[in-house]
């Protein structure tokens, strides 16, 4: 069965690399966008020595962790955004009748290879930032560094899937999901201290996005949380990601059962 | 198959200017009505714009701690910059637009070329209709939301609001012209997605949607303002409305937008002529 998914991904890769010039430019500009995001942090620190009580070093670590986790999730499941298209046009019917699971099938069918450029860049960026920030490495910090992008990627992926499920009920409301996916990345890149209370509670601890960049970066750089959060908070990221997936899969099941095709 | 469509753009337009204006207006109205059917999408967009507005403004406010003035803006001016900015994002629409490129790929563009109206003019009219709808559905609410939550800068000079409206229209025309140019690339590449990605990146960074361009070093600002049309999409309308520059520079920046329109529109028309001359109909 996994061979079938592999074939679907392969077919996608072949078709996406057909227009070679266009594909090359696309990969390159995807990769550049990561550099731009790092540059934004530098520009922000050009006009202000601190942001929310943190220096360049800490914010760069936060930003690099969050962007890497997001780009990874975007490569793997980002294209689930196209679900609304499938629902609107009734194309989901074709997916439903095949003897394969629906979610993996959609992910394989819409796999966007060009996003690999972005993941490559953001992993390099993370490495460079860590060399620059030069934390004092301990076994616990190394483990945190390995754990955070994986859990962060899983969390963002769950957010992508949950957001896409909105399309089962409101076909044209895809943009709501953007507030939590792209908005979630934006949120996770900067210290949680800069946000107003409500936003911080909902995005940071409701959705769990403070555990993707902010708390792990505090742990890695040995900075105490000015908001009074305990040290061990950053270790909760896998549990939060698992819980988010539980909700995502529940939403997905309900959504699929709610789907009634287009009727035309 | 190319001969019949090789020079459709040389078809003479009706000489009557009033008829032409009427036709343009009708297309603007059609564009407006087309977008006004997506009410659910507009609501979803409002929510997203508002969330992003709070996030971006939080960052900007953190930069003004201790009375700092990043890029010469105070906190209230930055609030107006961010919230009016969220509002005009979908008016200017400096994002992906594939309508023409898709029609080139599928071959449908032949129908556009056979019509007795220049496709650039027809698509521009439809886009202005879309922008007019976006002003009502997507711009006013985020600005109100921002004004309710935060202290915003209110323009002091009497002519600022009309100047802003003019600047916003020019920004939309610039944005459309550049999008159209990117789509014309499909005539050569068939798949304009790569070009589109470059455009998306450039318009995002160089127009000032990520951060006000005045945060950059002086030399970079000079290069961007005079070497590229991008500040005209976003930064100039917003600087006009927050009255960041003095009156002379405020009016001068709108003139700069006009200059870019005067450069780019003839350029696009020339590229379009070259594109249609080499057009091969797909699947014919």
Domains of chain A by residue range = 2-258
DSSP conformation class of A203: I
Residue B2 — pLDDT band, cuts 50, 70, 90?
A: very low
| Averaged pLDDT for residues A222-237 | 91
Confidence of residue B6 (pLDDT cuts 50, 70, 90): very low
Shortest CB distance from B44 goes to which of A25, A174, A186? A174
What is the value of ipTM here, to two decimals? 0.89
| C-beta atoms of B48 and A176 within 8 A | yes
Name every chain B residue with its beta carbon within 8 A of the beta carbon of A173: 40-41, 43-44
> How far is the C-alpha of B44 from the C-alpha of B191, rounded, in Å?
30
Which residue of B52, B192, B210 is in closest CB contact with A183?
B52
- Closest by CA position to B283, among listed B83, B47, B103, B130: B103
Contacting residues of B for A179, CB less than 8 Å apart: 47-48, 51-52
Which SS3 state, helix, strand or coil, does residue B271 take?
Answer: helix
Residue A15 has pLDDT above 90, yes or no: no
Is the pLDDT at B10 greater than 80, yes or no?
no
Range with top average pLDDT, A95-99, B92-96, B211-215? B211-215
Instruction: Express as a percent the part of chain B with pLDDT over 70.
Output: 92
User: Minimal Cα–Cα distance from A199 to chain B, Å?
Assistant: 8
Model confidence at A66, in pLDDT bands (50, 70, 90)? very high
Residue of higher predicted confidence among A175 and B51:
B51
Taking 90 as the threshold, does the pLDDT of residue A110 lie above it? no
Chain A touched by B95 (CB under 8 Å):
no
Could you state, in order of their start, the residue ranges of all structural domains in chain B? 3-277
Contact assignment for A21 to B194 by CB distance below 8 Å: yes
Contacts A113 to B, Cβ<8 Å:
none
Q: For chain A, what percent of residues have pLDDT higher than 70?
A: 99
List the 122-181 stretch of B: residues with Cβ below 8 A of A.
none
Residue A225 DSSP symbol: -
For residue A57, what pLDDT is reported?
94
- Give the gap in angstroms from C-alpha B40 to the nearest C-alpha of chain A: 6
Of the candidates A116, A127, A10, A40, the one whose C-alpha atom is nearest the C-alpha of residue A72 is A116
pLDDT digits (tens, 9 = 90+) for B116-149: 889 999 999 999 999 999 999 889 988 998 999 8
Which of A20, A23, A40, A47 should one mutate to test binding to chain B, selecting the residue with the greatest count of B CBs within 10 A? A47
Predicted confidence (pLDDT) per residue in A185-208, tens digit: 999 999 999 999 999 999 999 999
């Amino acid at each position: 069965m996994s061979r079938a998914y592999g074939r679907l991904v392969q077919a996608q890769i072949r078709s996406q690399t057909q227009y070679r010039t266009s594909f090359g430019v696309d990969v390159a500009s995807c990769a550049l966008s990561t550099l731009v995001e790092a540059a934004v942090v530098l520009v922000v620190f050009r006009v202000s020595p601190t942001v929310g009580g943190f220096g360049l070093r800490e914010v760069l670590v936060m930003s690099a962790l969050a962007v890497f986790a997001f780009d990874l999730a975007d490569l793997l499941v980002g294209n689930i955004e196209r679900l609304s298209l499938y629902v609107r046009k009734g194309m989901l019917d074709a997916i439903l009748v095949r003897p394969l699971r629906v979610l993996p099938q959609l992910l394989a069918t819409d796999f966007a290879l060009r996003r690999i450029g972005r993941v490559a860049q953001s992993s390099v960026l993370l490495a460079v930032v860590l060399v620059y920030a030069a934390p004092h490495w301990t076994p616990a910090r190394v483990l945190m560094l390995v754990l955070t992008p994986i859990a962060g990627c899983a969390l963002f992926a769950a957010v992508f899937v949950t957001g896409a499920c909105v399309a089962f009920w409101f076909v044209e409301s895809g943009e709501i999901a953007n507030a939590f996916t792209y908005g979630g990345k934006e949120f996770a890149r900067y210290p949680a201290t800069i946000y107003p209370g409500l936003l911080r509670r909902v995005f940071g601890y409701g959705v769990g996005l403070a555990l993707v960049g902010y708390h792990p970066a505090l742990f890695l750089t040995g900075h105490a949380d000015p908001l009074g959060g305990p040290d061990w908070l950053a270790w909760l990221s896998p549990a939060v990601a698992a819980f988010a997936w539980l909700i995502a899969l529940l939403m997905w099941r309900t959504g699929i059962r709610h789907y009634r095709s287009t009727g035309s | 198959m190319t001969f019949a469509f090789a020079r459709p753009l040389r078809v003479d337009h009706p000489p009557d200017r009033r008829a032409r204006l009427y036709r343009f207006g009708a297309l603007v109205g059609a564009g407006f009505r087309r977008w006004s059917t997506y009410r659910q999408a507009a609501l979803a967009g409002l929510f997203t714009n508002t969330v992003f507005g709070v996030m971006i403004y939080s960052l900007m406010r953190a930069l003004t701690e201790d009375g700092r003035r990043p890029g010469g803006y105070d906190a209230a001016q930055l609030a107006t910059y961010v919230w009016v900015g969220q509002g005009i994002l979908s008016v200017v629409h400096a994002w992906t637009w594939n309508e023409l490129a898709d029609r080139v790929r599928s071959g449908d563009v032949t129908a556009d070329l056979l019509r007795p109206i220049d496709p650039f003019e027809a698509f521009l009219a439809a886009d202005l209709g879309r922008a007019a709808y976006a002003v009502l559905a997507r711009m006013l609410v985020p600005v109100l939301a921002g004004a309710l939550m935060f202290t915003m800068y209110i323009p002091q000079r009497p002519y600022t609001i009309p100047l802003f409206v003019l600047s916003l229209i020019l920004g939309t025309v610039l944005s459309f012209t550049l999008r159209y140019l990117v789509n014309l690339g499909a005539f050569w590449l068939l798949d304009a997605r790569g070009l589109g990605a470059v455009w998306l990146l450039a318009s995002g960074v160089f127009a000032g949607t990520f951060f006000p361009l005045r945060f950059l070093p002086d030399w970079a600002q000079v290069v961007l303002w005079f070497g590229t049309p991008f500040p005209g999409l976003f930064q100039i309308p917003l600087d006009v409305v927050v009255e960041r520059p003095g009156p002379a520079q405020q009016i001068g920046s709108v003139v700069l937008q006009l200059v870019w329109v005067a450069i780019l529109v003839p350029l696009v028309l020339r590229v379009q002529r070259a594109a249609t001359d080499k057009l091969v109909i797909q699947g014919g």
